[in-house]
Structure 1
Amino acid sequence: MCIFIDCLLSPLILWPAIIGVGIYLLKEYMQGGQFTKDTDETGKVFIVTGANTGIGKETALEIAKRGGTVYMACRDMNRCDRARNDIIKETNNQNVFSRELDLSSLESIREFVAGFKKEQNKLDVLINNAGVMRCPKMLTKDGFELQLGVNHIGHFLLTNLLLDVLKKSAPSRIVVVSSLAHTRGAINVDDLNSEKSYHEGLAYSQSKLANVLFTRELAKRLEGSGVTVNSLHPGVVDTELARNWAFFQTNFVKFFLKPMIWPLLKTPKSGAQTSIYAALDPELKDVTGLYFSDCKPKAVAPAALDDKVGKFLWAESEKWTGLASPESKD
């Protein structure tokens, strides 16, 4: 016994064990707030964009577990179908559907909405989850800078085209996945489409700020409709979002930096918790225009409170998408 205890107390065993436990506890702590309430979503209809991977897939999975009807709106249908099959296999919920939606194409968005309305006459929750991050300078099919085009403009059009169904389904919700990166963002009113200059990080932060400004402006326009809209920061999550960020594809990051920061990253399941909270928590039934992080309200950056810029962004988004007065459509 003494020999056994001596072995356990050996520095060669003791310190690695202490370090291992410390890393485990740090990893658990960094998972953040969790949505633990039991809810029954049977009979409710949800749309989750970008639901084939990462926090989008985990969001769709949790909703399906609770009985909800889930439309997985994705660009890559092969990956979407595989994710759908995974979710059905795990939940035994057959009301999970994969549908094509390319947020970089206004035509694709309109086709998705038209198809959805042929299949459903209600929509309880729209979760605008899909996004791209720190891309090289690229344009959408309609000529918009890709990050602003996908993260904001695509969801702007999608949301407005679905407002009539959301209003008929009230009480209903819109959830917008933004990011802490919005705090570093600024809306470039003189070069919104990054035509004069482009920086991948600034463009990403601008698109995430646009998410929060859009949320706050839409909440005002939907006042009294029974439709709520809130935005959120999912946390720093270990997903594929950085796949277009060249730095994160280097061997230095893959084999050295990522293992070092792994304890600080949320899993996709933990990253989905605030989206699930905003979509399902009964206490948020009448809460609108807020920003959440770790399943609780959080203050936004001062730039996100600029109503003048919010109105400017809305007007420009209307022009770019060809919408006249989307908030007045019933």
Structure 2
Amino acid sequence: MSERITTPFGFETTALEVVEGVDLSGRRAVVTGGSSGIGVETVRALAAAGAEVTIAARNLEAGRKVASELSAATGNQRIFVAPLELASQESVKEFVRNWDGPLHLLINNAGVMATPLTRTPEGWELQFATNHFGHFTLTLGLFGALRAEGARVVNVSSSAHLASPVVFDDIHFERREYDRWQAYGQSKTANVLFGVEAGKRWASEGITMNALMPGVIMTALQRHVTPEELQERIRLRGGDKPLQLKTPGQGAATTLVLAVSPLVEGRSGLYFEDCNEALPNTGGMSGGLAAYAHDPEAAAQLWKVSEETLEIGEQA
């Protein structure tokens, strides 16, 4: 087992501090959900470091407003906006069809959290359809662009993955009672497992994929949840510390570590929190990585189920 990766950064580090002195000139990035929350700060940091950034957003008007503001703030005029609705496979495929040229950084940041039971037209549970299936189709669809030169894929997961493994015999809550936190949890577990299997399949392609817990940040993601409920969820998982909130800039920092740090060069299947590789969750703690979230058999099964459900394969 490889030695745990630690960095000079921590809980209070901001995304802009991570990219200080980093030159991303000539690099192209896509940030899903880049028009709100930590997505905005992710785009800000990448643009400040000189990258060309495409904001993939459901709300084009909001995306254009953010792009304009960040171009003015960073002096980088190469911030673009493209439509993407992750819950719609057709929207994802349209984004892929419209992409041209290489892609060096894909930040799978967008997501929905703890929603009431909602199904897509295909009958899929919304959180899994958005948080995993949408990003799975997007990433595989962009495979040809990503294999250009040492591309990195970063999946924004959550400590909520501790709420549930991927329940393969009933992913979409067709036979069990719907629990919005279990549904969210298994979708976040899927974000980690995706990188575990991608690391095996894509090692020779120069593409890496890792996941992270950004921290607790009150953004539009929590529109279905109160701070009190979040604190209760943490308590139920064994955490006895008061809820510690991060700013959006601090919440985006771990994403940027995985996107630019030389310490993770060539590594896949990792899970970071507070800018460092997470420790194993041993119970009685609110953070860390669950054993089932880096189980290679579960990762291989998830990939197989995803390809079969979505009727897609790698787009070489």
TM score, norm. by length of structure 1: 0.82
Secondary structure, aligned partner of 1:171: coil
> CA offsets per residue over residues 256-296 of structure 1, 9 Å max, x none?
xxxxx998200000000000111111332222221111111
Deviations 1:129-160 (A, max 9, x none): 00100000001243311100111110000000
Q: Deviations over 1:171-199 (max 9, x none)?
A: 11000110111122121122111112211
Counterpart for residue 266 of structure 1: 246
Tell me the distance in 2 between the aligned counterparts of 1:36 and 1:104.
31
| Whole-angstrom distance in 2 between the partners of 1:58 and 1:221 | 31
Match of 2:48 in 1: 65
Equivalence for 1:11: none
Asked if 1:54 corresponds to 2:37, the answer is: yes
Any idea what the Cα deviations from partners look like across 1:94-127, whole Å, max 9, x if unmatched?
A: 100010000000000000111112xxx1100100
1:70-113 deviation line (CA, Å, top 9, x unaligned): 00001111111111111111112110001000000000000011
Describe the shift of the 1:249–1:162 C-alpha distance in structure 2 as closer, same or farther (beyond 3 A): same
Contact 2:52 2:78 in 1 (8 A): yes
TM-score (norm 2): 0.85
For 1:228 and 1:170, the matched residues in 2 are separated by 11
Is the 1:104–1:141 contact (alpha carbons within 8 Å) kept by the matching residues of 2?
no
Identity level (%): 38
**2:290 matched to which residue of 1?**
301
Q: Equivalent residue for 1:145?
A: 125
Matched, 1:289 2:278: no
Change in CA separation of 1:69 and 1:36 when aligned onto 2, cut-off 3 Å: closer
Alignment of 1:170-319 (within 5 A): 170-196=149-175, 197-245=177-225, 247=226, 264-299=244-279, 300-319=289-308
Q: Deviations over 1:302-324 (max 9, x none)?
A: 1113222222211111122111x
For structure 2, which runs of at least 5 residues remain unmatched after alignment?
Answer: 1-9, 230-240, 280-288
Moved over 3 A (4+): 247-250
Alignment gaps of 5+ in structure 1: 1-28, 251-260
Paired residues, number: 285
Residue type of the alignment partner of 1:160: L
1:7-48 residue CA offsets vs partner (Å, 9 max, x unmatched) = xxxxxxxxxxxxxxxxxxxxxx95357625411111110000
Residue of 88, 91, 95 corresponding to 1:108: 91
